Copies of this chain bind each other. A is one copy, B any other.
Amino acid sequence: MGLISPISNILKGCININTEVTVQGWIRTRRDSKLGISFLNIYDGSCLKCLQIIVNKNIENYNSDILRLTTGCSIKIIGKLINSLGKKQKYEIKAKYVKILGWIDNPSVYPISAKYHTMEYLREVPHLKPRTGLVGAITRLRHFLAQSIHNFMNKQGFFWVTTPLITSVDTEGSGKMFRVSTLDLNNLPVKSRGKINFNEDFFGKETFLTVSGQLTGESYACALSKIYTFGPTFRAEHSNTRRHLSEFWMVEPEMAFSTLEDIIILAEKMLKYIFHEILTNSYEEIKFFQKKIHRFEKYNYIKQLTSTDFVHIEYSEVINILKKNNKFFKNTISWGMDLSFEHECYLTEKYFGCPIVIKNYPKEIKAFYMRINEDSKTVAAMDILFPRIGEIIGGSQREERLEKLDKRMEEIGLNKKEYWWYRDLRRYGTVPHSGFGLGLERLMVYITGIKNIKDVVPFPRTFHNAHF
């Protein structure tokens, strides 16, 4: 029955002309000539492009099957691989045998017709959206991005660690966490004074979904030197913006014996490696996003990024720049404040016109675990901002000095006792160490040019939205 081949292999020229091949996929379009030849464009998701199948009317089931094929039908074809006479493609298949595997129930209302669909529409059919060229491309890009991250980390000697998703620790101290519980809501166990008795819950205490694997990740970096987590994280934020998801994937490397500068170098190197890899592995997809979404030379822009140094700048300098240009902003800025999205865009798009690394932020706007600088006002934190999307990486050198950490926790009002294990890392052979977090979906938004972060994930979870 011939070599079974993914369409990607055929279109890449991996298979000899005149070989008999078996191809399986779904119909994108069908066109019939007056001469009794049908042209089927089929996809199998292995690549962006469709493969053209030429079916002659003398095939047995031409009238009964071929002429009834509509977008989305699944078929199996055995035929000969030939050089295409048409200009649109290099190769095509001359069918000898076509078997229909699955029809479309009521084709006139098939949700994924071959026409253009808006992202808003596709969100309502997340189970079928991967059948579109666009979502297929997004999915393959996501795969190659993740692969390049794992490869980079592995090459750099980092070990992948799985930190727990169910946790009783609130890393960011934000409190915006999802509760995880098996308590019967209709029959909650109650202690004295009406308090819920979490001793009765599955884990014998109150537990939540993690917002970051960092704190537990640190305990592994303080033993294996270089580790990274790459897993889902959760934020129960009620805001429904185009930049936030309730469930998203984050890469968090953590490196012992390293300073803020070391981690900035690592982050920049990682981004450049990722870009370099996907320019090759997702060439077709990036060119597609360029044409359909960006409408400018994104491919070349990304290529340029792989060899340009990012701008490194102090937070205080950034504030001076922004203050001089306060007239452009809705929100007036001054030292001590966090940047808004409008400030981030101004810096990356207008002022510098490139990715920037901002470092040494006021301690008040950053997390308790960041290392306090000599000025006692700022911490060794850094954010990497990208044009159009703002913050893509956030990191810091961690406070490795117990007394400084304790002081900071007291200032903020954190309960030292709850962090006994985190403090242990500083009591026992403490080392300078640093790390950062990169949101996979933000990076996707940047590369694809897709406006809403919801649309770069298979089944996005946001406020009031969890399909299936």
Q: Mark A132-173, 1 if CB is under 8 A from B, else 0.
A: 000110011011001100100010010111111111110000
Contact of B128 with A202 in the complex, beta carbons under 8 Å: no
Q: Is A209 an interface residue (CB 8 A)?
A: yes
Q: Report the separation of the CA atoms of residues A27 and B181 in the bound assembly, to the nearest whole angstrom.
A: 41
Q: Is A461 an interface residue (CB 8 A)?
A: yes
- How many copies the complex holds: the figure is 2
Q: Is A6 an interface residue (CB 8 A)?
A: yes
Residues of B within 8 A of A162 (CB): 142, 232, 249, 457-458
In the complex with contacts A231-B231, A257-B24, A127-B169 CB distance below 8 A? no
Contact of B46 with A168 in the complex, beta carbons under 8 Å: no
Contact of B178 with A458 in the complex, beta carbons under 8 Å: no
Residues of B within 8 A of A27 (CB): 429
Task: Please give me the residue from chain B that is nearest to A70 by CB atom.
Answer: B429
Task: Please give me the residue from chain B that is nearest to A194 by CB atom.
Answer: B186
Of A29-37, A80-88, A420-428, the one touching chain B: A420-428
Contact of B146 with A465 in the complex, beta carbons under 8 Å: no
Task: Please give me the residue from chain B that is nearest to A107 by CB atom.
Answer: B428
Residues of B within 8 A of A169 (CB): 468
Contact of A136 among B157, B163, B224, B466 (CB under 8 A): B224
In the complex with contacts A225-B46, A421-B468, A216-B428 CB distance below 8 A? no
Contact of A428 with B102 in the complex, beta carbons under 8 Å: yes
In the complex with contacts A24-B431, A101-B430, A458-B130 CB distance below 8 A? no
Q: What count of chain A residues pass the 8 Å CB interface test?
A: 109
Q: Is A226 an interface residue (CB 8 A)?
A: yes
Q: Is A8 an interface residue (CB 8 A)?
A: yes
Task: Please give me the residue from chain B that is nearest to A426 by CB atom.
Answer: B102
Contact of B178 with A202 in the complex, beta carbons under 8 Å: yes
Contact of A130 with B224 in the complex, beta carbons under 8 Å: yes
Residues of B within 8 A of A142 (CB): 159-162
Residues of B within 8 A of A468 (CB): 164, 167-169, 215-216, 421
Contact of A127 among B128, B143, B219 (CB under 8 A): B219
Contact of B104 with A220 in the complex, beta carbons under 8 Å: no
Contact of B146 with A160 in the complex, beta carbons under 8 Å: yes
Residues of B within 8 A of A102 (CB): 400, 426, 428-431
- Minimum CB–CB distance from A149 to chain B (whole Å) comes to 10
Q: Is A261 an interface residue (CB 8 A)?
A: no
Contact of B150 with A219 in the complex, beta carbons under 8 Å: no
- Minimum CB–CB distance from A351 to chain B (whole Å) comes to 35
Contact of B24 with A223 in the complex, beta carbons under 8 Å: no
Nearest 8 CB-CB pairs, A to B?
A45-B224, A102-B430, A130-B223, A203-B466, A127-B219, A105-B427, A143-B159, A74-B429
Chain A residues near B (Cβ < 8 Å) = 4, 6, 8, 24-27, 44-46, 72-74, 76, 101-105, 110-112, 125-128, 130-131, 135-136, 139-140, 142-143, 146-147, 150, 154, 157, 159-169, 178-183, 185-186, 188, 194, 196, 202-205, 207, 209, 215-216, 219-220, 222-227, 231-232, 234, 236, 238, 246-247, 249, 256-257, 400, 421-422, 424-432, 457-459, 461, 463-468
Given contacts A142-B160, A180-B209, 13 further A-B contacts (CB under 8 A): A6-B157, A46-B157, A72-B428, A104-B428, A125-B421, A127-B421, A128-B223, A146-B150, A147-B160, A165-B232, A166-B178, A166-B247, A168-B466
